[in-house]
Amino acid sequence: MLEASFSRQLRDFTMNVDLTVQPGETLALIGENGSGKSTTLKILSGLMKPETGRIMLNGQVLCDSAARLHIDPEMRNISYMFQNYALFPHMTVRENIAYGLAVRKRPKEEIQARTNELIARMGLEQIADEPVTRLSGGQRQRTALARSLAPRPALLLLDEPLAALDVKTQENMRRELASVIRAENIPCILVTHSIIDALSIADRVSVIKRGTIVATGTPEEIIHDPTYGFSVSENPNLYRGEIHIGKTGKVCVKIGEIYLRAVTTLSGVVNVEIRPEELIISREKLTSSAINSFQGKITDIRPSGLEMLVYVDIGISLAAALTPQSVERLSLKKGDVVVVTFKATAVHIFA
Amino acid sequence: MNPTARTHALSRIATQVLTGGLILLFLVFISVPLVSLFTRVSVGDLLYAITSEAAINALTLSAATAVLSTVIVIIFGTPLAYVNARIPYKGRNIVDTLTDLPIVLPPTVAGLALLMAFGANGLLGQYFSIFGIKIAFTTTAVVLAQIFVASPFYLRQARSSFEAIDVEYEYASRTLGAGPLKTLFKVTLPLALGSLLSGIIMTFARALGEFGATMMFAGNLPGKTQTMPLAIYSELQSDLSVSVALAILLVIFSFDIILIVKYLGAREKKKYA
């Protein structure tokens, strides 16, 4: 279990972080760029010193400013996976993964066994002896994760683990990351600015703003708390739902009391994202190929960047992004009853 | 063609001729002296000259002192270069300027300064004298002179090699359980190696070519302080063929140095791109 409480003066604000991570738990630290997320990880790992505070991991004091105690990073047994992975470019995949065990002078057989186990788990057998400079983004991510896990750290720190990947690879890696972290049962802090990462990987989410944790809760609580939800998420249309497959094979996702048609191979409880720009708002019901069509009342219209977000209550609250011209042309206003139309493929399902 | 267009075309041709002429003249100016060294003596004379006692003495002394001074520069220079690359501290610019100074300082000034410091009555030399230790006009002085003038080449290159390595590699190594020294030897130095090697070779070449400071501080004693450049100068008065033979050796060596450094630079760029 990690218990940390520390402060440090940054250029624009003072960091005041208080956090705990239970054994085997994954905590997502979510916040905007420059909110102190990475600094938090650096302080926990010992790469940076807090001005005041105390950090305890599994009963061992790692840092205590009052006692002038600061354990060096190499003695903490905390693995840190950097945003750009920082794989050693002069080593192969295997050498990178074995590094943490090799510098600890573990027996050769143990190093080999653990390295091979992780290579197999991550599906890196084909490229195990390639230099890491030749890997794709996903392969780099897997290698970096394997390298962090190899020494069986007491705590795993992940700094934006998916940010360096393209969108398509991100979706696969997100699922893989979640399952690997769960399998290893290592407590983990995940820093991200994406609510989707937090939703799929974390057990708990903490929102950090200007160096202070302003809220902590389950992913669902955080997303749907209007105070924080909007500040951490670009997309207001995020839900938890359950997949239902009809007798004729129609795939639906049930959110609250509403059934949306979707396309997915997943089952059970899933996360659902509907992008506001994929929604069509009309006065009358449209005849079109889009299969999802719902009537609802406009609850709010507010500007978001160059567009307007029109919130429609169809049993769940859906936000549609429209140009200001469209809002004017349809003379939309609060309280109007409109029709929202979108394709089954606009309902993005992820684990 | 209208008159304006014609003037334009003419002026373009004139520019091309002028540029080409300047380039050609410059290349001729650089290569003719080098070529004339090679045309001066026959191969037989060359082999004879190179095996003369004076030449062999100068060669071995040069090789030994240049290797020694390069090794010393690496040992003392690497920590300084690393600290200056990684740790911002007050006065870092002053330290940088100071260590760069020997590059622009005339070698004779460097030699005179060394003499004032380490000569028998020098600032430090007077204390060495008490214990009967003589530095000026010995082989030690040759090495000191070489270190003084050649060290900036290594320090500059080493500092920029370390700066080019993302500090996150070192962070990653530390969090994976390696202490600072292990990190240095397993991560930082291997990554910097190619680039450091360029610096080492340039330093060695500069030490090998050292003349002015050696002359002032170490003198020109055959077998003791007379390195190749000094022998070239001395033999000019007695046996021109020995002089030319040694000069040819240095030209060939310098040419190789440039090729190696260029090759290392290109390889480094490719390796981690």
User: Could you tell me the end-to-end alpha-carbon distance of chain A, in angstroms, rounded to an integer?
Assistant: 27
Compute the distance between CA of residue A22 and CA of residue A247 in angstroms, rounded to an integer: 43
The answer to whether residues A5 and A54 touch, using CB atoms and an 8 Å cutoff, is yes
Predicted pLDDT at A232 = 42
Compute the distance between CA of residue A270 and CA of residue B115 in angstroms, rounded to an integer: 81
* 8 Å CB contact of A45 and B176: no
**Same structural domain, B171 and B212:** yes
**Same structural domain, A187 and A242:** no
**Same structural domain, B11 and B143:** no
A232, A252, A279 — which closes off a domain? A232
Nearest to B175 among A45, A89, A104 (CB): A45
Q: Check CB contact of A90 with chain B, cutoff 8 Å.
A: yes
A189, A216, A232 — which closes off a domain? A232
Compute the distance between CA of residue A148 and CA of residue A140 in angstroms, rounded to an integer: 12
**Same structural domain, B161 and B56:** yes
Predicted pLDDT at A224 = 66
What is the count of structural domains for chain A?
A: 2
**Same structural domain, B166 and B181:** yes
What residues contact B242, with CB distance under 8 A and at least 6 apart? B49, B50, B52, B54, B55, B231, B235
**Same structural domain, A246 and A211:** no
Domain containing residue B123: CATH number: 1.10.3720.10
What residues contact B189, with CB distance under 8 A and at least 6 apart? B196
**Domain limits for position B233:** 41-271
**Same structural domain, B35 and B71:** no
How many CA atoms lie within 13 Å of B20's alpha carbon, on the beta-carbon side? Answer: 6
**Same structural domain, A165 and A151:** yes
Compute the distance between CA of residue A88 and CA of residue B272 in angstroms, rounded to an integer: 10
Helices and strands in chain B, H and E counts: 13, 0
R_g over Cα of chain A: 23
Across chain B, which has 273 residues, the per-10-residue mean pLDDT values are: 80 92 95 89 84 88 95 96 93 93 93 93 90 91 96 95 94 96 94 90 93 94 92 88 88 86 79 59
**Same structural domain, B102 and B112:** yes
Q: Check CB contact of A39 with chain B, cutoff 8 Å.
A: no
User: Could you tell me the end-to-end alpha-carbon distance of chain B, in angstroms, rounded to an integer?
Assistant: 51
**Same structural domain, B186 and B221:** yes
**Same structural domain, A124 and A99:** yes
Distance in Å, alpha carbon of B273 to nearest chain A alpha carbon: 8
**Same structural domain, A39 and A108:** yes
**Same structural domain, A216 and A267:** no
**Interaxial angle between packed helices B139-164 and B189-209, expressed in degrees from 0 to 180 and rounded to the nearest 10:** 150
Q: Check CB contact of A73 with chain B, cutoff 8 Å.
A: yes
What is the count of structural domains for chain B?
A: 2
Q: Of all helices (H) and strands (E), which one includes residue B233?
A: helix B228-238
What chain B residue is nearest to A86 in terms of C-alpha separation?
Answer: B169
Domain containing residue A280: CATH number: 2.40.50.100
How do residues A211-257 score in pLDDT, each as one tens digit? 999 888 887 777 766 666 544 446 778 888 889 888 787 889 998 88
Nearest to B169 among A47, A79, A88 (CB): A88
Nearest to B272 among A133, A148, A151 (CB): A133
Q: Please give the model's pTM, rounded to 2 decimal places.
A: 0.75
A204, A232, A260 — which closes off a domain? A232
**Same structural domain, A75 and A178:** yes
Predicted pLDDT at B194 = 86
Site of tokens 């940010």 = A163
Predicted pLDDT at A231 = 44
**Same structural domain, B6 and B110:** no
What chain B residue is nearest to A75 in terms of C-alpha separation?
Answer: B177
Size of interface A-B (CB pairs under 8 A): 65
Compute the distance between CA of residue A239 and CA of residue A4 in angstroms, rounded to an integer: 32
**Same structural domain, B182 and B62:** yes
What residues contact A99, with CB distance under 8 A and at least 6 apart? A88, A91, A147, A150, B173, B176, B178, B186
Predicted pLDDT at A153 = 94
ipTM of the predicted assembly exceeds 0.90: no
**Domain limits for position A155:** 2-232
**Mutation choice for B interface testing from A82, A96, A149 by most B CBs within 10 A:** A82
Reading the block at residue B189, the tokens are: 């130095």
DSSP for residue A1? -
What chain A residue is nearest to B167 in terms of C-alpha separation?
Answer: A86
**Same structural domain, A278 and A131:** no
**Same structural domain, A217 and A100:** yes
Predicted pLDDT at A227 = 64
> Which burial class, exposed, middle or buried, applies to B269 when counting CB atoms under 10 A from its CB (0-12, 13-18, 19+)?
exposed
How do residues A263-289 score in pLDDT, each as one tens digit? 888 888 888 888 888 899 999 888 888
**Same structural domain, B7 and B81:** no
**Same structural domain, A299 and A217:** no
- Cα distances (angstroms) measured from residue A242 to each of A54, A254, A269, B20, B250: 42, 5, 4, 76, 80
What's the one-letter identity of residue B44? Answer: G
Compute the distance between CA of residue B97 and CA of residue B253 in angstroms, rounded to an integer: 30
**Same structural domain, A20 and A54:** yes
Q: Of all helices (H) and strands (E), which one includes residue B102?
A: helix B92-104
How do residues A66-81 score in pLDDT, each as one tens digit? 999 999 999 999 999 9
* pLDDT grade for A190, boundaries at 50, 70 and 90: very high
**Same structural domain, B83 and B118:** yes
* pLDDT grade for A175, boundaries at 50, 70 and 90: confident
Least confident of A25-34, A156-165, A249-258, A303-312: A303-312
**Same structural domain, A250 and A130:** no
Domain containing residue A24: CATH number: 3.40.50.300
Convert A300-309 to b/e letters by CB count within 10 Å (16 or more is b): ebeeeeebbb
Q: Which of A129, A41, A133 is nearest to B172 (CA)?
A: A41
How do residues A302-326 score in pLDDT, each as one tens digit? 877 677 889 999 988 899 988 888 8
DSSP for residue B28? H
**Same structural domain, B133 and B230:** yes
Predicted pLDDT at A234 = 63
Predicted pLDDT at B240 = 85
